[in-house]
Amino acid sequence: MSNNPPPTPTSAHILGVRVDDVTLDEALSWAERAIQSGAPRQVATVNVEFVMAARGDGEFRRVLAGSALCVPDSAGIMWAARTLGRPLRERIPGVEMAQGLAALAAQRGYGLYLLGAAPGVAEQAAAKLREAHPALRIAGTYAGSPAAAEEAEIVARIRQAAPQILLVAYGAPKQELWISRNMHRLGVPVLMGVGGTLDYLAGVVKRAPAAWRRLGLEWLYRLYRQPWRWRRMLSLPHFAWRVLVARLGRAEEERC
């Protein structure tokens, strides 16, 4: 086993949040190196809601800044990076990163633990992942909750199962804060917040059709399927406005 830490990728900075310029293949090689080196490393899947939440939440901002890998999850992030003159090569939706980690786990014999989502969903997601990768070892599944009162018990369960990869589905930013608070006592090398990914994998919630995804309209499909999200989505136009202002500010500085 190598103890070399995985290399740090180059990054874009979007309204104060770092987003790493990695492809899915590079992110998975990074994860493999992280598992071999053993120390705990947090992976965040940054989308527009993350960036806007981080602007008003110092703790979330600190956790994202401390995450070892921040992958670009959404079309809005790709657009912002381009607009700010630091384009990123590939979008890595959280669900695809999770599927990639499951494939890596199956290939290398790593244990995968699925934490969070409604009761029964993690088990359904695990079954779907095992259908796709029969060699996959699911170290455990548990819904639990991000409540402080449950933390010690959940940590004990995960330590007992000793997985190499932990996916946490408590929604952002709760899942990122949960990982950050507990990662140093879990004994798990790669830990990632996955939001609604377990719902997608389990088939409880449908992902946008490929054509919508190609057009960068996954957010619109999500709004159509889950209209109660409209309030959260108000952050999208605000984000676009802030990015354009930042770009104009930069153009102004370059002229001076």
In DSSP notation, the chain reads ---PPPPPPPEEEETTEEEE---HHHHHHHHHHHHHH-S-EEEEEE-HHHHHHHHT-HHHHHHHHH-SEEEE-SHHHHHHHHHTT---S----HHHHHHHHHHHHHHHT-EEEEEESSTTHHHHHHHHHHHH-TT-EEEEEE---S-GGGHHHHHHHHHHH--SEEEEES-TTHHHHHHHHHHHHH--SEEEE-TTHHHHHHTSSPPPPHHHHHTT-HHHHHHHH-GGGHHHHTHHHHHHHHHHHHHHHHHHHHH-
Tokens of 187: 């004994």
170 binds ligand UDP (CB under 6 A): yes
CA-CA distance, 106 to 102, in Å (whole number)?
Answer: 6
Binding span for ligand UDP by CB under 6 A among 19-27, 55-63, 148-156, 190-198: 190-198
Binding span for ligand UDP by CB under 6 A among 63-71, 125-133, 193-201, 246-254: 193-201
Whose tokens are 């086993």? That residue is 1
**Cβ pair 194, 167 in contact under 8 A:** yes
**CB of residue 140 vs ligand UDP: minimum separation in angstroms?**
15
Select the residue interacting with ligand UDP from 76, 93, 116, 189 (CB under 6 A). Answer: 116
Q: Provide φ and ψ at 114, rounded to 5°.
A: -110, 115
117 binds ligand UDP (CB under 6 A): yes
**CB of residue 43 vs ligand UDP: minimum separation in angstroms?**
14
**Cβ pair 97, 72 in contact under 8 A:** no
Site for ligand UDP, residues 130 to 149, rule: CB under 6 A: 145-146
Select the residue interacting with ligand UDP from 71, 196, 200, 208 (CB under 6 A). Answer: 196
**CB of residue 30 vs ligand UDP: minimum separation in angstroms?**
22
**CB of residue 169 vs ligand UDP: minimum separation in angstroms?**
4
172 binds ligand UDP (CB under 6 A): yes
201 binds ligand UDP (CB under 6 A): no
**CB of residue 204 vs ligand UDP: minimum separation in angstroms?**
8
**CB of residue 205 vs ligand UDP: minimum separation in angstroms?**
8
**CB of residue 94 vs ligand UDP: minimum separation in angstroms?**
7
Select the residue interacting with ligand UDP from 63, 158, 198, 243 (CB under 6 A). Answer: 198
Select the residue interacting with ligand UDP from 63, 169, 191, 192 (CB under 6 A). Answer: 169
199 binds ligand UDP (CB under 6 A): yes
81 vs 198, beta carbon nearer ligand UDP: 198
Interface positions with ligand UDP (CB under 6 A): 116-118, 145-146, 169-172, 195-196, 198-199
